[in-house]
Amino acid sequence: MVSRTVLGNGLTILVVSNPAVDIVSARFFIRSGSREEQQPGLAHLVGAVLTKGTQNLSSQDIAQQVESMGAILSADTNPDYMQVATKCLGEDFPELFALTAEVLREANFPAQETELERTLTLQSIRSQQERPFTVAYNQFRKALYGKHPYAFPELGTDASVRELVPDDLSAFHRQHFRPDNLILAVVGPVLPEQVVVLAERYLGDWSAPAFTPVAPNLLVPAITAQRLHQTQATQQSTVLVGYAAAPITSVDYPVLKLISTYLGSGLSSRLFTELREKRGLAYEVSAFYPVRLDLSHFITYIGTAPENTRTCEEGLRSEVGRLCDGYLSDEELRTAKNKLLGLYALSKQTNSQVCQILGIYEALGMSTQFDEEYTQMVEQVSRQDVQTVARRTFDTSIVSLVGPAEALATA
C-alpha cells in the first residue's frame, strides 16, 4: 500500500511501510535529467559533484558522516530524471535524512571537486569511444534525435564537458532542485506520518523559486531511413538496426516491452537462438527498449565477424519482419509474458528496488497504481497487438555500422 502526501511547497512523498527488514531505502527523484540540460554532460556532472560539499560540510565531512552510520548516499543521472539515493538502518534514518536534505538544498559544487569529476568524466568519454557498440549507439541517437537532448550521451562530449564550470552546475541546481520538482520515495520500517514529520522539519521551509526553468529544445526531426558508417580498427563489426519507439505514456509501451523480451532477453531469446546458436553469426546479440518520457527507441544489435556484416543486418531485419508479417504462436507469446513478468517481479524484491520503481513512475508522471496496471496490461497483450505495434514501430529503420573499413565498404 503506497501512501502519497504532497507538502505545501509541492514536495511529493511516497511511503511504503515494510517492517520485515530493518533497512530504510529513501530516494529523492528530481524531475529533471539530461533532457533539461543546455550543455551535454551538465546533468551528469551535477550528479557527480552533488555530494562533494555544501555550504557547511566538505566532501570528507559528508563521507565521514555517511560511513559512521554504515550507510549509503549517492547521486545518479538519467535522461529524464536525477536521483539521490540513501540506504541505512532504521535507527539512523533521521540523521541520514537530515544530511541528505542539506546536500539537496545547499550543494555548493567546489571547484576542486568539480575539476576532479570533470577529469574522470573525460576519461570515461575517451574510454567509451573505443567501444564499438557505444560508437554505433551514439551515432544512431544523433541521427534519430537531432537537436533533442536525447541525441547526446549522458556523459556529454569531450568538447562540451571541457567547457563546464562550477557556475554552470550551480545554475542547473538552482533551476531544477526545488521542492515542487522533487519526489521523495521511502520504503522500510517507517510509518508515513514519521516521514512527513521529517520532511516538514528539514524541507518544509524550502520555497520553490518564482522563476520557471529554461525549456530545452525537445523537437525531434521527422524520422527518415538512414545508413551510417564509422570506421574503427577492430576485429569485429557492430551492426545496429534501430527504430523510433513509443514513450512510456503510450498504450504501445507494454507491447514493446514484451517484444523486447521476446527478441533480446537472455539465452532463450529469439535473436540469440536464431543468430548465435543456430547460425553461429554472433559474438553478442540482443535487443532493448529504454524507458523514455519523450520519444524512445527500439534497438536490435549484433557483434560479428567483419565478413558477416551484411548477413547479420539481414538477419536482424528478418526477425523483426517476422513479427510484422505474422503472429507469434500461443506458446511463444505465453513464454515471453512469463519471462517478462517473472523478471519484473524479481526486480521488486528489496526495499531499494521497490523504492526505485515507485519513484521512477512518479517522476515520469505515471500513477502510483501503474505498477499493478503494467502487469495487467502485459497479461492482456494479444498476438494481434504484437503484430499491430510491430508494424507501427518497425516501418523506418536507422542502421548504424562500426567496424573495419573493408567490412563496411561491402555492407
Q: What is the mean pLDDT of residues 102-115?
A: 96
DSSP H helices in 107-213: 111-128, 132-145, 158-163, 166-176, 192-203
Contact at 8 Å (CB) between 141 and 151?
Answer: yes
Calpha distance 393→252 (Å, rounded): 9
Q: What is the pLDDT of residues 82-99, one digit of tens each?
A: 999 999 999 999 999 999
Phi, psi of 60 (to 5 degrees): -65, -40
Q: Tell me the average pLDDT of the chain.
A: 95
Beta bridge partners of 82: 30, 77
Contact in structure between 276 and 285 (CB atoms under 8 Å)? yes
C-alpha cell at 274: 536464431
Q: Determine the 3-state secondary structure of 94 from DSSP.
A: helix
DSSP 107: B
Which residue would you say has higher pLDDT here, 29 or 233?
29
- Determine if residue 400 is left, alpha or beta; phi over 0 gives left, psi from -120 to 50 gives alpha, anything else beta: beta
Domains of the chain as residue ranges with CATH: 3-203 (3.30.830.10), 226-409 (3.30.830.10)
* Cell numbers 533532457: residue: 35
214 has a pLDDT exceeding 70: no
Do residues 312 and 239 lie in contact, with contact meaning Cβ atoms separated by under 8 Å?
A: yes
pLDDT digits (tens, 9 = 90+) for 287-325: 999 999 999 999 999 999 999 999 999 999 999 999 999
Asked if 146 and 409 touch (Cβ cutoff 8 Å), the reply is no
Q: What is the mean pLDDT of residues 329-338?
A: 97
**Which amino acid is residue 132, in one-letter code?**
P
